[in-house]
Amino acid sequence: MNEPEQIVFVIDDDPAMREALDSLLRSVGLDIRCFGSVAEFLGAPRPDIPSCLVLDVRLPGKSGMDFQKELALSDAPLPVIIMTGHGDIAMSVQAMKTGAVDFLPKPFREQDLLDAIAAALDKDRLRRAQAAELAILRERLATLSDGERSVVVLVVQGRLNKQVAGDLGVSEITVKVRRARAMRKMQAGSLAELIKMAGKLGI
């Protein structure tokens, strides 16, 4: 059996709804894992691949809205699509403010759910790609000496080599050498690229 490339998780305490969603999503080639409660979901292994969660509001134990808030605060927030048969405008506003990809009152059109799932999976793929890129940039940054890093910090602020030399109390030649080494270690092809990297690293 081939490993799935992406997974849609569903939490709904209605067995008929879970069965219907399982049938719908499998009919369009999506892998799906269904759970009757938040506790069941948390107790199951979750593959480290692009994923999203279709979450009912009314659940036994922890509610869907409370669980969505917890997920939004986690290190790797899972894109969530809220569905409910008892929703109102205030609830939908709250869900969207907390980062829900969509809020679908039951009954909803199948295509609306499929569109929301596609958007949620794209969002998770983008988050994963950005996290991987940031990890690589942090690894490169860690290879810089303290002197090289100091030069980078000032250069990306727009300081000229001569000004950086004055700020750090070193010669302009030393600044040029450290700057060239830093550019090479960061694999930055231009100052614009280095500034872009620094922005992603928060320096």
Give me the mean pLDDT over the 195-202 stretch: 94
Q: What digits encode the pLDDT tens for the residues 121-166?
A: 999 999 999 999 999 999 999 999 999 999 999 999 999 999 999 9
- Tokens found for residue 32: 């799906």
pLDDT at 97: 87
- Specify the pLDDT at position 30: 95
Alpha-carbon distance values, 114 to 19, 21, 51, 102, 132 (Å):
16, 10, 14, 11, 27
Query: Model pTM?
Result: 0.81
pLDDT digits (tens, 9 = 90+) for 28-65: 999 999 999 999 999 999 999 999 999 999 898 888 98
The domains located in the chain, with CATH, are 7-133 (3.40.50.2300), 144-201 (1.10.10.10)
Distances 139 to 43, 147, 183 between C-alpha atoms, Å: 33, 17, 14
Percent of the chain that is helix, strand, coil (3-state, to 5): 55, 10, 30
Strands (E), 93-189: 102-105
Tell me the chain's radius of gyration from C-alpha atoms.
Answer: 24
